[in-house]
Structure 1
């Protein structure tokens, strides 16, 4: 027995940060199932590359800027007439402790990691209410736990979970479901750059060694591939998750279940 609305074929799916990494994988997954995909981002070249592979509509816009986001939504509606799913995937850096984060850096990290989702959700809400659609928010394991020296990123990703819950609370009565995904390490261009820097500082031989090191205490012992996150997003952005609203799904290979004080026992072979 199928679920009403489970089929995403013909649905209009808007993905911010759709030019690379997780966003590009989400675009590929939805396009492969016959959805009308729109990839939104600030850089034309990566969006066009995704569009060529998937048939997506590429829209250059800053999701954190109200006028730019509104223009993007207008373009989507003029092209397709509806929006069924919004995936708030755009994000950015914020990699310094509080004492070393200046006002401009703080504002920039919140702009990239929080305001993009807030502004784009607000601008898409009328269309999503009409379609009784879904919003999927890409937070992070950093939205649940604090890593070292990533104040802006951590706070922005935590705030995305609050945004998810308040959207779910206020707009569930209109038929709009809003859920969040918290990935752990995912092998993306942004993570690759972090691994290269980490390998240099830790005197490791390669990026692969860096990934192996940061996932050594993850039960699955590896980072995710973007396609694995895309599968979860597709589930939430479809009728298959029809009674999920305000949920936070952790997709981290089991990292969040590890009892950190017992890791020493693991390393001792106990």
Structure 2
């Protein structure tokens, strides 16, 4: 990744929903989408963070709104997307960035079922629910749905059993959605970043240390963390009509 910002005007006239937009890659995406000319809706379980992200987009001159939402609660997901469509006059792209990373360094035999279920619920059931209720707003020929996965579970394994499994499942979900939704004029991608410097990743590395993972190994990962802004620039590109010829899975560093 080069760190090149998305072109101004790339998303002019586009209405973009960022699910998980309060921090990390999501917040960087809200900022980048606003800078590229989009009207932006921020959905996140962190109501205060979502509102702050929307205010940042407004300060940059964009139309923006925020809605608190638990992606595992179907009624909340449905209501939030309907509210966004009403406020913005429709939805052109949904960028699903929300996720959790837990169980880093936990041995399989010690992994609680509850932790497995929690990670799967947020990282796999959540994207399913968002896709299910976004689809009625995205038809018309140039709708875009991007599910942010990870290289973990697709190209490599993960230090967290539930996280790796959830991201592998999300990749399969996106491939299947692309087949089902393509005929409706909805382009679907999985974006699979590597290790990115986000609050989520920092908490995961702290958890790995607490669970006895080799400190030098953790330090190597920390030293090589990528920038959220670089992933955000790719998400903005995928949300734009300029990416109409791209299909399938997209990888970043």
Whether these two folds match at TM > 0.5 is: yes
Q: Find out whether 1:15 has 2:18 as its counterpart.
A: yes
Q: Find out whether 1:63 has 2:71 as its counterpart.
A: yes
Q: What CA distance in whole angstroms lies between the structure 1 residues aligned with 2:97 and 2:140? A: 22
1:224 to 197, 221, 226: 226
**Which runs of structure 2 are paired with 1:67-78 in the superposition (5 Å)?**
67-78=75-86
Q: What CA distance in whole angstroms lies between the structure 2 residues aligned with 1:131 and 1:94? A: 38
**Which runs of structure 2 are paired with 1:84-95 in the superposition (5 Å)?**
84-95=92-103
RMSD: 2.0
Which SS does the other structure have where 2:11 is aligned? coil
Deviations 1:188-224 (A, max 9, x none): 11112233455675557xxxx955x1267xxxxx321
Partner residue of 1:163? 173
Q: What CA distance in whole angstroms lies between the structure 2 residues aligned with 1:97 and 1:123? A: 36
Indicate how the Cα distance of structure 1 residues 215 and 19 shifts in structure 2: closer, same or farther if over 3 A, else same.
closer
**Structure 2: segments with no counterpart, 5+ residues:** 1-8, 59-63
**Contact in 1 for aligned 2:101/2:201 (Cα 8 Å):** no
Which structure has the higher relative contact order (CA within 8 Å, separation 6+)? 2
Partner residue of 1:146? 157
**Structure 1: segments with no counterpart, 5+ residues:** 1-5, 217-221, 253-270
Deviations 1:2-60 (A, max 9, x none): xxxx9311211111111000000011000011101111011111112211211231100
Q: What CA distance in whole angstroms lies between the structure 1 residues aligned with 2:241 and 2:107? A: 41
Could you tell me the TM-score, scaled by structure 1's length? 0.81
Moved more, 187-196 or 35-44: 187-196
Deviations 1:120-177 (A, max 9, x none): 01101011013630011100011312123x1110110001111111111011111110
**Contact in 1 for aligned 2:102/2:204 (Cα 8 Å):** no
Which SS does the other structure have where 1:130 is aligned? coil
